[in-house]
Amino acid sequence: MTSIRNPFDDVLWIGETVEVTLEDQNDSFVAEHPNEASPLGLVVVDGLEHLENQPPDGPVSVEIVASVVDGRIAARLLEQ
């Protein structure tokens, strides 16, 4: 079987776990995408219950998921 690779995978890092610093923007937690080549930033859409401080004091681990929300790539906050 031949696999067709999504050309955006190298840029968006879908499915990857990355460290980011979140900021509160219009009642959403957003971050710059760690890949400077990505045209979209990140927004946390799942896992906010894992935060002790909102926004957190330092970097957190998120998993980038294959969804776009409000012009940003969705991310899931991992347990801290």
pLDDT in tens, the chain (80 residues): 444 457 777 789 999 999 999 999 988 999 999 999 999 999 999 998 888 777 788 999 999 998 999 999 999 999 86
Give the Cβ contact number of residue 20 at 10 Å: 21
CA proximity to 67, closest of 27, 40, 29: 40
pTM of the entire predicted model: 0.85
Give the chain's radius of gyration (CA, Å): 13
| Fold classification of 9-77 (topology level) | OB fold (Dihydrolipoamide Acetyltransferase, E2P) (2.40.50)
Q: What is the model's pLDDT at position 77?
A: 95
Q: Spell out the domain ranges in the chain.
A: 9-77
